[in-house]
A = this chain, B = another copy of it.
Amino acid sequence: MQLPSEQDYIQQISIDCVIFGYQHDQLHVLIPKLKFEGNFFALPSGFVLQDEDLDAAATRILQERTQISGVQLHQFYCFGKANRNSRAFMDLLIRLNPELDNLEQANRKEYDWFTRRFISVGYYALVDINKVIARKSDLDQSVAWRMIGQLPDMIMDHNHIVQRAIHSLRSSFDERLSAFELLPETFTMKELQKMYESIFEKQFPMNNFQKKILDMDVLERLEKKFTGAANKAPYVYRLKDNLRK
């Protein structure tokens, strides 16, 4: 197992990524399980190289974990409590990990920087869950999509970081047309409504919802396919040409 080396990175700064996907009518977050005995979960995280833009570091971390590119990341908050350190976690890591346990005391010093206080910048991304090939880091045992209503307890303040990301996602959801990054290219009004209800954790009356969405003036309605049978299929929509990426 190789931890990042001290010289290359800005000290005491980390990035935590909240990667949102949508499936089975539910918002999900990609969460690695760490490879130590017991159940330890942590957001996909990483550090910033000395000559690397903060945004570029976040993009790199996202790509390493999902194998997808071209996804927009949104910086949403910088977490700076003085007690943000992974000392307890690293003690555990050293206790549980045979490889680290065998290190000479001198070599352990290499990892000291890793246990200092870190200020962490939170980024979130909205991804098409079907395009993601989730990849483990050296520290991960597995990675899984987890429903926002059923997140595991994570280390440090990572659950709080997800809550902040959801808050930020909601507050700019319409402005950024975020829904359409999570849905396939075409969808019915009902599918769109279900997504909104999942993200905002509340019901929207159908007529109001449809009016609100159509008033945004961002969708085009596609022709129904003529099937010969009585056509009860719902209309299918997609984002207007000039708004698609």
Contact = CB atoms under 8 A, between A and B. Distances in A.
Interface of A: 10-13, 48, 50-57, 75, 77-82, 117, 119, 121
A167 to B, nearest CB: 12
Copy total for this chain: 2
Contact of A55 (B54, B75, B80, B121): B80
A121 B81 CA distance: 13
Contact of A54 (B51, B75, B80): B80
Contact of A12 (B11, B55, B78, B117): B11
A78 B78 contact: yes
Interface core residue of A54, A82, A121 (most chain B CB under 10 Å) = A82
Contacts of A75: 77-78
B80 A121 contact: yes
Contact of A82 (B12, B13, B52, B117): B52
Given A12-B13, A13-B13, A78 B121 contact: yes
Contacts of A117: 10, 50
A76 to B, nearest CB: 10
